[in-house]
Each structure stands twice: as structure tokens, then as C-alpha cells.
Amino acid sequence: MEFINFFIDLFSDYTTRIIGIGTALLGIVSGVLGAYATLKKQSLLGDAVAHAALPGIAIAFLITGTKNPIIFFAGAALSGWLATLWIMGITRNTRIKTDTALGMILAVFFGIGLVLLTYIQKLPNANQAGLETFLFGQAATLLKSDVIAMGIIGFGTIVIIILLWKEFKLFTFDPQFAKSLGYNTRFLDILLTSLIVLAIVLGLQAVGVVLMSAMLIAPAAAARQWTDRLDRMVILSAAFGALSGLTGTAISSYGANISTGPTIILSSVSIVIFSFLFAPGRGLVAKFLMREKNRRNLALNKVISEMYEICSSHDSPTHQHSVAILKTLPGFSYRMIRQLKEKDLVEVDSEKQWHMTAKGIKAAKQIKDLGGAE
């Protein structure tokens, strides 16, 4: 409860509330689209688009001379989109691979953006202050109007995702099949990529060019560990995105002198690490336990089938043996015989003589039918 009260106290401040709502919205939108980006193996596209947005912002300012967020948004989206098209063109038309195209376009566009920004800074009488917030992001500069704009764009994006749910799902997992069913995959590809570009550009003001890619990848990478279903993954990813937005804002406003971008990223990376470790099924801990259990079962199986073999060489499978004889079985240990006893596979009588139960014989026969202890 105290923790919740702490949150309520924290967000009772107007500015913090605006920033919190803004970053949570951002988390939802980038979480939803990040799910598709990671599934389509386009995780690093976010990084490239974020960097490539910079010249668009600078050119938008050079042309209009104003710092209208909508115009910046349009400029950033346009140049991010052009960069994406060029990356796709390079990989399609030459032997250059995706990673090279991404890295090169990212850095070259960023360089152009930097040239333009430094050029703008030297212009006389230019009202240029604040352009560099896009580099590293400054959630503190989010205004109510920005958050409303983010809300509208985010809502529109999610409506499109819901309307084209089936199409996007099919296209993400099996584009060839989608094409063979007559869907316009080229259109779907461009639409989905454009939505991803929008989500990235939306987040630039808050978390900046450098960290935006993690905003896209982290919630999706975490959500992927908990489920194999797309609908659950998208919802979880959105929830993780929102959670890291809120937590990041809370930590940043609580601890003085830390900007919001890095705290949001570290929050979402913490969720990823937690998911990597503890997600049921896929998580590392679950996998480790599963491996241990398999190993133990294999050892038990081996002992019980060995025991069955030596018992069968006697008159009846329930023939009794002393521990001294059982000790000679490969893989035998006292712990193991106790476990076999707990599972009612073997029994011990008053003279400390061990023999197999009916259940144990059945199990051993099954193992034998399956092709031995291996």
C-alpha cells in the first residue's frame, strides 16, 4: 500500500502527472508496435529510424522557422520513412546486407542532421534553442498539448492495428502465405513499417534518438517470454511499456538530477531481465529446473530398468535384493532409492530387503518398450 501511496503522491504533481501520462502512452504505442518489429526481425530498424529522424527535424525548422511539435513530427517521420525506404532499397538492389545498410544510413543521416543542427545554431537571430532535446530526449519538456497529440496519434495507430489484426498477424508470421491468399503484402509491409516509424518519432522528444530503439524492443522482448500468442504478447508488451514509462518517470522525479529517458530504459530493461530469468517455460530458471528434472528422471529410469533386469534373471520380478547388491547398479545412490520408494516404485521389507512393486515393474516395462533407459 505504501508503495501505491508513494506513487499517488508522486503523480499528484501536475508536471509529473503530464510526463507520466505522456511516457505511459508512449510505452503503450511503442510496446504494441515493438511486438511486430521484433517478430519481423526488425528490432534495429527503430534505432536507424530514430537517428535518421534528426535531419527531418532540422529541415522542418529551417523551412518553417518555428518549433511547432506537429511540424517537427512530420519532418522527423518523413526523413525516418525515407531512410527506411533507402535501407530496403539497398538490401534489395545490392549484395549489401541489412545490418550494413542500417548502420550506414543511421550514421549518415545522423551526420547530416548534425551538420544542419550546427548550421542552424550559428544562424543569427534563430530561435533554435531546444532542438537538441531530440538528441537525448527531455521528457520534462512535454506539454499537455504534446501529450494530447501523442494520445491522438497513438489511438489512431492502435485502431489501425485492431482493424487489420488478422492481416498483420498473417503477414508477420508468414508473408508468403499471406501473399498467396491474395493479401496486398507490399501495402501491409509499408503500412506496418510506417506505423513503426510513427511510434519511434513519437518517442523522440521524451527519450531521444539514442535510447528510442530500446523503447521499441524491450517491452516486446519481455512480453515474448511470457506467451506464444500474438494477442497476449501485444497486450503484455503495451502493459510493460506503460509500466516502464511510469516507473521511469517516478524514479526520475524522485531522484534529483536524473533525466527521464535513461530511467525509463533501465526500468524496461529490468523488466526484460526479470522476464528472461523467471518467465515460466522459456525463462532461464524454468529451463534450468526442467533440465535438472529431466536429468533426475533419466537417472531414476536407468536405475529402475537395471533393477528390473537383474530381478528378471531371478524367478520373479519381485525378487528381493539387499542394498549391498543394489549398490553395484550403475548410477545408484541412497538418495535415488529413497526417491524410488517415495514414488512407490520399490518397497523395503522388515529385513531391509528391497524389491520392486507392481507399479515399478510396470514402469520398467514401459521404459524397456520405449527403447531402454536412454
Partner 1 sequence: MMTGIQIEIQVIAILVAVSCALPGVFLVLRKMAMISDAISHAILPGIVVGFLITNSISSPLLIFLAAITGVVTVAIVELISKTNLVKEDAAIGLVFPMLFSIGVILISKNTGNMHIDTDTVLLGELAFAPFNRFVVSGIDLGPTGAWVMGAILLLNLVFIAVFFKELKLSTFDVGLAASLGFMPGVLHYALMSIVSITTVGAFDSVGAILVVALMIAPAATAYLITDDLKLMLIYAAIIAMFSAIAGYWMAKLMDASIAGSMAFMCGFVFLLVYLFAPVRGLLSVYNRRKRQKSEFAQMTLLIHIHNHSGENDDIEERRASHLKKHFLWDELFIKKIVRQALSAGLLTEKQELLSLTEKGDQFIDAANALFTSKHHPGFEALRKEFIIFSD
Q: If binding is defined by CB under 8 A, does position 112 make contact with partner 1?
A: yes
Binding mask 24-53 for partner 1 (x = CB under 8 A): --------------x--xxxx-xx---x--
Q: Residues near 61 by Cβ (< 8 Å), separated by ≥ 6?
A: 67, 72, 75, 120, 128, 131
As to burial, measured by CB atoms within 10 angstroms (0-12 exposed, 13-18 middle, 19+ buried), residue 97 is exposed
Q: Return the range that interacts with partner 1 (CB under 8 A); candidates 211-219, 228-236, 301-309, 311-319.
A: 211-219
Rounded to an integer, what distance in angstroms lies between the CA atom of residue 90 and that of residue 102?
Answer: 10
Among 91, 100, 133, 357, binds partner 1 (CB under 8 A): 100
Rounded to an integer, what distance in angstroms lies between the CA atom of residue 25 and that of residue 205?
Answer: 13
Distances (CA, A) of 240 to 20, 32, 215, 216, 244: 14, 10, 10, 11, 6
Q: If binding is defined by CB under 8 A, does position 135 make contact with partner 1?
A: yes
| Sign (positive or negative) of CA dihedral 360, 364, 369, 374 | positive
Grid cell of 198 as nine digits: 510513427
Least CB distance from residue 136 to partner 1, whole Å? 6
Distances (CA, A) of 253 to 13, 80, 226, 269: 10, 31, 30, 19
Least CB distance from residue 354 to partner 1, whole Å? 42
Task: Between 248 and 360, name the residue whose CB sits nearer to partner 1.
Answer: 248
Tracing cell 529541415 back to the chain, one arrives at 59
Q: If binding is defined by CB under 8 A, does position 82 make contact with partner 1?
A: no
Tracing cell 506513487 back to the chain, one arrives at 7
Q: If binding is defined by CB under 8 A, does position 101 make contact with partner 1?
A: yes
- Interface with partner 1 (CB under 8 A), residue total 63
Q: Return the range that interacts with partner 1 (CB under 8 A); candidates 13-21, 22-30, 86-94, 330-338.
A: 86-94
Least CB distance from residue 98 to partner 1, whole Å? 8
Task: Between 213 and 227, name the residue whose CB sits nearer to partner 1.
Answer: 213
Q: If binding is defined by CB under 8 A, does position 174 make contact with partner 1?
A: no
Q: If binding is defined by CB under 8 A, does position 133 make contact with partner 1?
A: no
Q: Residues near 264 by Cβ (< 8 Å), separated by ≥ 6?
A: 23, 27, 139, 206, 207, 211, 215, 244, 245, 247, 248, 249, 252
Q: If binding is defined by CB under 8 A, does position 125 make contact with partner 1?
A: no
Helix (H) or strand (E) holding 78: helix 69-93
Q: Return the range that interacts with partner 1 (CB under 8 A); candidates 173-181, 253-261, 293-301, 358-366.
A: 253-261
| Sign (positive or negative) of CA dihedral 15, 141, 38, 274 | negative
As to burial, measured by CB atoms within 10 angstroms (0-12 exposed, 13-18 middle, 19+ buried), residue 143 is middle
Binding mask 291-320 for partner 1 (x = CB under 8 A): ------------------------------
Q: If binding is defined by CB under 8 A, does position 213 make contact with partner 1?
A: yes
Residues that bind partner 1 (CB under 8 A): 38, 41-44, 46-47, 51, 90, 93-97, 99-119, 122, 132, 135-136, 210-211, 213-214, 216-218, 220-221, 224-225, 257-259, 261-263, 265-266, 269, 272, 276, 282, 284
